[in-house]
Amino acid sequence: MKPTEPVEGGAEPTVDFAPAGRPRPAPAGPSTQASASAFGGSLPRVDVVAGSGIHLSEETRSLLRVRLRAVSLAMSFAFGAFFVRDLFLGGHYHDLFVAAFHAVVVAAFIASFLRLSGSRPIALRRLRTLELALFGMTIAFFLTVHYRLVQLRVAEGDRVMLIATVKNSILFIFAMIVLYGMFIPNTWRRAAAVVTCMAAATILSPVALRLFHPEVFRFAAPLLTFETLTDNVLMLLIGAGVTTYAAHIIYALRVEAFEARQLNQYRLTGELGAGGMGVVYLAEHRLLKRPCALKLIAPDRATDPKAMSRFEREVRTTARLSHPNTVEIYDYGRTEDGTFYYVMELLDGMNLADLVARHGPLPPGRVVFLLRQACGALAEAHAAGLVHRDLKPANIFAARRGNLHDFAKVLDFGLVLPPPEPGLAEISREGNIAGSPQYMAPEQIAGAVRPDARTDLYGLGAVAYFLLCGRAPFAGPTAMSVMIAAARDDVDPPSRYRPDLPPDLERVVLRCLAKSPADRFPDATTLDRHLAACPCAAEWDFERASEWWRAHRPGPETRDPHPSAGR
């Protein structure tokens, strides 16, 4: 069946009307499109949740700073000790240039230590530059000393000391390569690039010698046998290789520890979609290996600690709901930086917004079938004193459960931020209104009374309207105009957009959409009874649903479980 009007308002996220002048922060999370193995696609790996607080690069920045500080301190002492020895106790200084270079190296390490000990923040890029400068300078110094000493040994005609000098230099460079790999947090690629440069500079130094000092090269030539050359080259290359591998292991462990700290025992493996409150990820419990959906509340939605603790309470209450048509909450918690998340069962299927967006308005019997199941979920929640407050097509899933299709699952129970306060209803202290305007009951919009079970029945009526007509009951160019229309205007009868709509079902829908809660059904069970009494209720069941899904389920290669996600 095709929509008689363009489909609109289906996947409207919960909106946050910030007061004028206060820009609405961008939703958290990477913008990658959803995909999930449960739906047949290949998964992007989500290493770190953007927007969930400290990012890995942020952690790398502080770690690098600490490590560079430690390296600077250690090197200040090491180079300082050699400097004092050579200057005052009779060491290797044979020319002023090396002495001056040595002094510069010591001074640079001391300056670097002092700068890194300060409290001023330093960007990661600057730290990386400093890292390369310090290690580059050290290697350059070693090579300079090596070069001068080789010249000296040649002048003295001392081949034994020449061999010792070369071995000494190689040992120093080898130590620098290992020090770099162990101390500097790096990906293996970056570690490989830097240590290869260090090794290559040393390996290629005989070439430079041959080009610029052929007489020195001639003197050393008898020593440059295949064996001595391969000894030195292999030693440096093996050092570089082992260091790269060690850097890789250290990095992998760091990432794992970071992820574990971020989301405790959950590993994020893909993104399912983003809504007004945050991002829903495909996740896996590290030990149980059970796939699940993890919703991370956007930090900008969770700044009020009072609202958050009430929200947490509601998640706890929701977790106790056991109706099969309510999405099961497995767990909840906070990331290391305090960002709230909860974990729920992973649903296979499509939310109703996507279903209509993709396949057009639904047959009346199917609408009744889905709504009746939602009524069951609502009845249990209402009896427990929970009001959903944000019923909309995107929050009801037509899921597959075992071999049952069109198994309705109600999502996000009572999880609207901020929750109601007497006299404030859905309007927060900062002047924000939380909710989805096209599905908000007039009393929610007015904020005059505390939403109750009948508020949810209005929401369910608005969802029914959307499922039947492919459009929400009230439309408008802005969210505010939609809310004004919902509070003030009479709704167009759905039969205007859906002429074949059975009148009894239309009456039920319009009664749900009554402006005054008193004119609606008193509770979800009564609504369910009225829906069951519609003759079209007999036109859809699980068997029909299975046939429909078999015919309409896209192939794995084209499957996109949430076409509205990321819209």
Ligand X SMILES: Nc1ncnc2c1ncn2[C@@H]1O[C@H](COP(=O)(O)OP(=O)(O)OP(=O)(O)O)[C@@H](O)[C@H]1O
Catalytic residues: 390
User: Closest distance between ligand X and the C-beta of residue 354, in Å?
Assistant: 7
Q: What is the DSSP string of 88-100?
A: HTT-S--SHHHHH
Q: Quick one: 217 or 330, whose CB is closer to ligand X?
A: 330
Asked whether the beta carbons of 187 and 244 are under 8 A apart, the reply is: no
User: Closest distance between ligand X and the C-beta of residue 9, in Å?
Assistant: 12
Question: Whats the size of the chain, residue-wise?
Answer: 567
Q: Which stretch binds ligand X (CB under 6 A): 128-136, 151-159, 181-189, 389-397?
A: 389-397
Cα-based angle 157, 159, 165 (whole degrees, multiple of 5)? 110
Does 565 contact ligand X by CB under 6 A? yes
Q: Quick one: 150 or 353, whose CB is closer to ligand X?
A: 353
Q: What is the 3-state secondary structure (H, E, C) of 246-271?
A: HHHHHHHHHHHHHHHHHHCCEEEEEE
Does 352 contact ligand X by CB under 6 A? no
Does 327 contact ligand X by CB under 6 A? yes
Q: Quick one: 86 or 348, whose CB is closer to ligand X?
A: 348
User: Closest distance between ligand X and the C-beta of residue 345, in Å?
Assistant: 6
Q: Which residue has the tokens 């489909």?
A: 7
Alpha-carbon span 418 to 540, nearest angstrom: 38
Does 321 contact ligand X by CB under 6 A? no
Tokens of 48: 């770190």
Query: Of all helices (H) and strands (E), which one includes residue 287?
Result: none
Site residues for ligand X, 411-440, by CB under 6 A, read 411-412
Cα dist. 263→22, 35, 103 in Å?
30, 20, 48
Q: Quick one: 173 or 411, whose CB is closer to ligand X?
A: 411
Asked whether the beta carbons of 282 and 347 are under 8 A apart, the reply is: no
User: Is 295 a known ligand-binding residue?
Assistant: yes
Phi then psi dihedrals of residue 433, to 5 deg: -115, 125
Alpha-carbon span 14 to 438, nearest angstrom: 10
Does 393 contact ligand X by CB under 6 A? no
Nearest residue to ligand X by CB is 275
User: Which one among 165, 202, 395, 455 touches ligand X, defined by CB under 6 A?
Assistant: 395
User: Closest distance between ligand X and the C-beta of residue 522, in Å?
Assistant: 27
Does 283 contact ligand X by CB under 6 A? no
Asked whether the beta carbons of 34 and 270 are under 8 A apart, the reply is: yes
Kindly state the number of chain residues that form the binding site for ligand X, as judged by CB under 6 A. 24
Alpha-carbon span 281 to 297, nearest angstrom: 11
Alpha-carbon span 410 to 326, nearest angstrom: 5
User: Closest distance between ligand X and the C-beta of residue 560, in Å?
Assistant: 10
User: Which one among 347, 362, 370, 378 touches ligand X, defined by CB under 6 A?
Assistant: 347
Q: Quick one: 127 or 294, whose CB is closer to ligand X?
A: 294
User: Closest distance between ligand X and the C-beta of residue 420, in Å?
Assistant: 16
Q: Which stretch binds ligand X (CB under 6 A): 133-141, 244-252, 342-350, 520-528?
A: 342-350
Cα dist. 321→372, 410, 455, 553 in Å?
17, 11, 19, 30
One character per residue 293-312, x = contact with ligand X (rule: CB under 6 A): x-------------------
Q: Do the bridges between strand 434-435 and strand 15-16 make them parallel or antiparallel, or are there none, so unpaired?
A: antiparallel
Cα dist. 545→365, 537, 540 in Å?
11, 13, 7
One character per residue 214-253, x = contact with ligand X (rule: CB under 6 A): ----------------------------------------
User: Closest distance between ligand X and the C-beta of residue 70, in Å?
Assistant: 43
Does 325 contact ligand X by CB under 6 A? no
Does 566 contact ligand X by CB under 6 A? no
Provide the sign of the torsion angle of the four alpha carbons 24, 30, 33, 39, taken in this order: negative
Q: Which stretch binds ligand X (CB under 6 A): 89-97, 307-315, 343-351, 527-535?
A: 343-351
Site residues for ligand X, 13-32, by CB under 6 A, read 13-14
Tokens of 433: 């209104």
Helix (H, G, I), strand (E, B) or coil at 415: coil
Helix (H, G, I), strand (E, B) or coil at 281: strand
Tokens of 493: 């009868």
User: Which one among 173, 220, 280, 479 touches ligand X, defined by CB under 6 A?
Assistant: 280
Q: Quick one: 240 or 344, whose CB is closer to ligand X?
A: 344
Tokens of 117: 């000990």
Cα dist. 340→42, 171, 194, 373 in Å?
27, 51, 40, 29
Choose among 382, 273, 248: nearest CA to 317: 382
Asked whether the beta carbons of 76 and 111 are under 8 A apart, the reply is: no
Does 315 contact ligand X by CB under 6 A? no
One character per residue 250-279, x = contact with ligand X (rule: CB under 6 A): ----------------------xxxxxx--
Q: Which residue has the tokens 């209803």?
A: 425
User: Closest distance between ligand X and the C-beta of residue 265, in Å?
Assistant: 18
Q: Which residue has the tokens 């709901």?
A: 321
Q: Which stretch binds ligand X (CB under 6 A): 103-111, 219-227, 339-347, 368-376?
A: 339-347
User: Closest distance between ligand X and the C-beta of residue 383, in Å?
Assistant: 23
Residues near 175 by Cβ (< 8 Å), separated by ≥ 6? none
User: Closest distance between ligand X and the C-beta of residue 515, in Å?
Assistant: 24
User: Which one among 146, 388, 498, 562 touches ligand X, defined by CB under 6 A?
Assistant: 562
Site residues for ligand X, 477-506, by CB under 6 A, read none
Q: Quick one: 275 or 414, whose CB is closer to ligand X?
A: 275
Judged on CB neighbours under 10 Å (0-12, 13-18, 19+), 431 is exposed
Q: Quick one: 331 or 345, whose CB is closer to ligand X?
A: 345
Does 344 contact ligand X by CB under 6 A? yes
Q: Quick one: 105 or 394, whose CB is closer to ligand X?
A: 394
Q: Which residues are annotated as a binding site?
A: 295
Residues that bind ligand X (CB under 6 A): 11, 13-14, 272-277, 280, 293, 327, 344-347, 351, 390, 394-395, 411-412, 562, 565
Binding residues for ATP, by number, are 295
